[in-house]
Each structure stands twice: as C-alpha cells, then as structure tokens.
Amino acid sequence: MDFHDTMHQNFISQHEFQAASSRVERWADLPLNTIYRIDELNERIIDRNGEKVQCTYAVLTNREGEVANVWLTSIIEKELHSYDINGKEKIYIQSLGLKRSKANKDYYDFQIVRR
C-alpha cells in the first residue's frame, strides 16, 4: 500500500464532512425539485441585528446521501409541526422555488410527503 492509498483511507468522506458540519444554509440555496428526507429538526440561537433569536433548521439528506443543514422559513416550520419528524414515518420535502402570491408577495413554495 502506498502513501496515497493510506491517505485516502484516513481522509474524511464528503458525506461524513457534511454530516459533521455546523454550517446552516439558506432555504433559498437548496436545489429546486430535489427530494430530501427530513432527518431531524434543531434549534440554534443566532444574533440578528443585535438581538438573540432562536431559529429552527432541518437536517436533510438527499437520495445520494448528501447531508445539508438548512434554515426553515416560518411557513415551513409551522407546517412541519403537524408531522412526527422523529417517529416511524419518513418525512420528505422538496423546494419548488420562489413564487408570487395573489396578494403580490413572494414566498418559497414547497411540498411535504410522508411515507
């Protein structure tokens, strides 16, 4: 076994790196029409303009096993309260992008499916 084989075996995988990362992405940065399984919901206190605010983010996994931590919009967070994220059912979510309501307000559309 040469140096490169040893280095490769001892190096963290992309999946392990993403799963261990504390970085939380914006919902707007998720790829559209990609299905994610919601693995868990977490909360973190952040500083928003000098005020400490508790925000919720989801740990998501896509079909390829890539893990992403994503801040939830208030609408998605409210919708998820009616689901048992830690139960036996699997909960999936998909971002459908930025839409405009009849009241001329922008919002992030999404779809949730339980299995």
CATH number of the domain at 105, please: 2.40.50
Q: Does the pLDDT at position 72 exceed 60?
A: yes
* pLDDT for the residue 17: 76
Domain assignment of residue 84, given as a range: 3-114
Number of domains present in the structure of the chain: 1
* pLDDT for the residue 6: 57
Q: Does the pLDDT at position 3 exceed 90?
A: no
Q: Which residue has the higher pLDDT, 7 or 102?
A: 102
Q: Which residue has the higher pLDDT, 48 or 3?
A: 48
Contact between residue 65 and residue 15 where contact means Cβ atoms under 8 Å apart: yes
Q: Does the pLDDT at position 8 exceed 70?
A: no
Residue 99 has which token pair? 């839409």
Predicted TM-score (pTM) of this structure: 0.78
> How far apart are alpha carbons 61 and 71 in whole angstroms?
14
* pLDDT for the residue 4: 54
Residue 56 has which token pair? 């919720």
* pLDDT for the residue 10: 78
